[in-house]
Amino acid sequence: MDILQILLNGIVLGSLYACIAIGFSLVWGVLNIINMLHGSFIILGGYLTFFAWQYSGMNPVVILPIIAIILFGLGYGLQYFFINKVVMAPVLTTLTLTFGLDMILYNLMTVLFTATPRRVTLDLGTLSVGDLYLPIDRLLGMGLALLLTAILFLVMRASKIGRAIVAVRMDRQAATLMGIRVNHVYAITFGIGALMAGAAGAIFSMVFPITTNLTGTFLGKAFVICVIGGLGSVPGALIGGIALGMIESIAGYTIGPQNATTVGFVLMLILLVVRPTGIAGVKGYE
Amino acid sequence: MPEAFLEINGIQAGYGDVRVLWDISLSVKKGEIACIVGSNGAGKTTLLNTISGIVKPTAGSIKLEGQELVGCLPDAVLKAGIAHVPEGRRLFKGLSVQDNLMLGAYLRDDREAIREDLSFVYDLFPILKERSTQDATTMSGGEQQMCAIGRGIMSKPRLLMIDELSLGLAPRLVDRLGDTLLEINKSGLTILLVEQDVMTAFEIAERAFVIETGHVSISGTTAALGNDPKIKEAYMGI
């Protein structure tokens, strides 16, 4: 296979990975919560998109923002009514809580939807330029993923709520003195995390078959990407996502797809030893 | 006698079982600069935190022009018109000077007026305008204090509380900040200053309250207190 094709596959995969990891990274960086629900949020977004598409026949690109808003509401509520009660506790406590909530959500999805792999089939055909070969649904997925990433970047940089989220992350008490309600900002942050996960799931359902069995895989990917890219920033997750996509694409071709994931984890281990802040991470926020 | 602007009556507060404020009563008049002085650990910062709603008092009342503030959350206190510039500046790392200033106006929706106040702050501290896009925490201590005061002003308060204005700053800078505070005060803003450095506080403020181990021990005009031999010996080292 051509090296250009491998790199192209890597970028497509990487931008989807970035979309998966951004919400996870935001929640981890701002709330110091390792959100075990993240994988299930992705699958929930994907399943809801699939069923909405199947029963209404609407274009999944139109369905995506609706699903994202539903996931935002779910995330906001979970944080506001449950996780906020223990958010100041050590990280293991919130991890256990989100793990428990994940068990509920995961099993609920398996019971309601079954674990059958499902996919939104768009039949958009394939684009070929010279030797390069690209399914158009994947290109669409990549475009949507990058668009969402850009929107979140702008929200974090230039909006009032973005400033409030950074302020709460940097200094809770000083943020309180600005009149910022920390519990509300925490819930919004977790909601945005769920929104990005749901949107990523919706995109994935247009590109790959998804099933509840994949929740752990997605969670693992998000974890690796955060460690590679660095925590809590949109550019960090983007760099980490593209890096992992490239690594898996190259490793998949050279030493076989069955080893690609392992290579990702090994690189994460090496990076943890050499540069614990991640590629784009800031010191003090490991 | 007109009702006091800020009226604090019998405030008791602390952290867990440790009581810090035993019985604080004081009042600030509209339009003045008052100061609270006292040694380390006397309870000055705790008092400010209690006023701004971060620490909940166990007894007493705090009234701003008759409005009871005990039991209010920090955002309600800020909305009522009290801004708190915390000890050590506490600017937000990773955000620009302008973003820090704009966070002061977080609760406000009046875009036009916010823009006017921003240019008012930039007129007060021209160096902040020069550095508006720089990460606020990379500035010098004096510039950071200016930014913190500006952030307080951006909430358009009726009362500005400043905790440890002079902390870690060179005397000449403190003098200049003091002049600016007088200027801000002339524009109609009441200021409550908390200082460990009594001399500095007495130069800026008209009246003073001395706090010792959670009580107000003496109060009066700074002119009178500045000549009190006990104060001179205990706090000014003269």
User: Tens digits of per-residue pLDDT, A203-259?
Assistant: 999 999 999 999 999 999 999 999 888 887 788 899 999 999 999 999 988 888 888
pLDDT band for position B44 (cuts 50, 70, 90): very high
The ipTM is: 0.91
Report the chain A residue with the minimal C-alpha distance to residue B154.
A178
The band of A1, judged by pLDDT with boundaries at 50, 70 and 90, is: low
Residue of A157, A165, A178, A184 to mutate when probing chain B, most B C-beta within 10 A? A178
Q: What is the pLDDT of residue B76?
A: 96
Mean pLDDT for all residues in chain A: 91
Q: How far is B147 from chain A (nearest CA, A)?
A: 14
Using an 8 Å CB-CB cutoff, list chain A residues near B103: 163-164, 167, 175, 178, 180
Could you give the percent of chain A with pLDDT greater than 90?
A: 70
CA distance A166 to chain B (A): 8
Which residues of chain B lie closer than 8 angstroms to A181, CB-CB? 73, 75
Residue A88 · residue A206 · CB < 8 Å = no
- Tell me A122's DSSP state: -
Q: Which residues pair with A132 in a beta bridge?
A: A129
Using DSSP bridges, classify how beta strands B6-15 and B67-68 pair: parallel, antiparallel or unpaired. unpaired
Q: What are phi and psi of B193, to 5 degrees?
A: -105, 135
Q: Pick from B75, B97, B135, B163 the residue to mutate for testing the A interface (most A CBs within 10 Å).
A: B75
Question: Choosing among B106, B135, B138, which should be mutated to test the A contact, i.e. which has the most A CBs within 10 A?
Answer: B106
Residue A285 has pLDDT above 50, yes or no: no
Question: Are B102 and A163 a contacting pair at CB < 8 A?
Answer: yes
pTM: 0.90
Q: How far, in Å, CA of A96 to CA of A105, rounded?
A: 14
pLDDT given for residue B1 in this prediction:
47
- For B93, the closest of A160, A164, A170 (CB atoms) is A170
> Regarding predicted confidence, which is higher, A1 or B66?
B66
Give the C-alpha separation, A200 to A19, whole Å: 6
* pLDDT mean over B81-89: 96
Of A170, A179, A282, the CB nearest to B107: A179
Q: Which of B69, B68, B35 lies closest to B55, judged by CA?
A: B69
Average pLDDT (B99-117) is: 96
Contact residues, chain B, for A178 at CB < 8 Å = 78, 103-104, 106-107, 151, 155
Read off the pLDDT of residues A218-230 as tens digits, 9 standing for 90 and up. Answer: 999 999 999 888 8
Chain B residues with CB under 8 Å of A180 CB are 75, 103, 106
Three-state SS annotation for B198-213: HHHHHHHCCEEEEEEC
Q: Is the pLDDT of residue A284 over 70?
A: no
pLDDT (tens digit per residue) in A52-93: 999 999 999 999 999 999 999 999 999 999 999 999 888 899
Report A:180-219 residues touching B (Cβ under 8 A).
Answer: 180-181
Cβ(B191)–Cβ(B83) below 8 Å: no
Find, among B44, B42, B37, B47, the residue nearest to B12 by Cα: B47
pLDDT in tens, B117-127: 999 999 999 99
Give pLDDT, residue B105: 96
- Sequence-separated (6 or more) residues with CB below 8 Å from residue A211: A43, A115, A116, A117, A118
Nearest to B106 among A164, A171, A173 (CB): A164
Q: Give the integer Cα–Cα distance in Å for B215 and B210.
A: 8
